[in-house]
Amino acid sequence: MRLNRSLLFVLLLAAGCATRPKETLPQTPRSFPADGLITQRAVLTARGRQFTLNGYLSLSATGGKRLIITENFGNVLADVLVKSDGAVHVMRSSQAFRQKWIERYVAADLECIFGDAAEGNCPVRMISPTHFVIDRFWYDLDLQIVEIKPGPQPSTMFDATAVKP
């Protein structure tokens, strides 16, 4: 009887945990046009609250990246320009997205998904080529690309000296 219990205990230890490990999707290279307009929808979860956002990202191989984040009714919440050299220019901020938050997090998340940021520094999971999830300590961003329109963008979109409203 004692031998059966010992054998059962050893078998249980050898079997391990009954739960399956998390499935991870293979990371495929992100392919976005060097020049184009990308329309996005996102759900931002912060402090237990969810906010739906729309994003319009202009890409330019020479000018950089210009992201405008709006709420559902069209009000601009954030407008940020990340130049090709990595310089961040906050063109417009709001009560919801303050300038320091845009500089620190919005620009970093933009580079994680659409830039050349180091993989180790980016808490991003690619669910599909058009669906990304960023998990930071105090917020999550679930971003889906709705439309990609390749083509040159107006150079004025990438002018950091333009008058800020």
Q: What's the rounded Cα separation, in Å, for the pair 21 and 158?
A: 45
Please state, as a whole number, how many other Cβ atoms lie within 10 Å of the Cβ of residue 76: 16
Mean pLDDT of 42-53: 94
Mean pLDDT lowest among 34-48, 72-86, 107-121: 107-121
Band (pLDDT 50/70/90 cuts) for residue 115 is confident
Band (pLDDT 50/70/90 cuts) for residue 152 is very high
pLDDT at 27: 44
Asked if pLDDT for residue 9 goes beyond 70, the answer is: no
**Which residues make beta-bridge pairs with 15?**
none
Asked if pLDDT for residue 43 goes beyond 90, the answer is: yes
Asked if pLDDT for residue 143 goes beyond 90, the answer is: yes
Q: What's the rounded Cα separation, in Å, for the pair 62 and 49?
A: 37
25 vs 82, which has greater pLDDT? 82
DSSP symbols for 111-163:
HHHHS---GGG--EEEEETTEEEEE-SSEEEEEEEEEEEES---GGGG-TTSP
Which amino acid would we find at residue 88?
V
pLDDT at 65: 97
Which amino acid would we find at residue 34?
A
Q: What's the rounded Cα separation, in Å, for the pair 117 and 97?
A: 22
Domain 36-151, CATH among 3.30.110, 1.10.10, 2.30.29, 2.40.160: 2.30.29
pTM above 0.75, yes or no: yes
3 state DSSP class of 65: strand
Domain map (residue ranges) of the chain: 36-151
CA distances (Å), 61 to each of 34, 100, 149, in order?
5, 26, 15
Q: Exposed, middle or buried: residue 10 (CB in 10 Å: 0-12, 13-18, 19+)?
A: exposed
pLDDT tens column, 73-98: 999 999 999 999 999 999 999 999 99
Q: What's the rounded Cα separation, in Å, for the pair 90 and 67?
A: 10
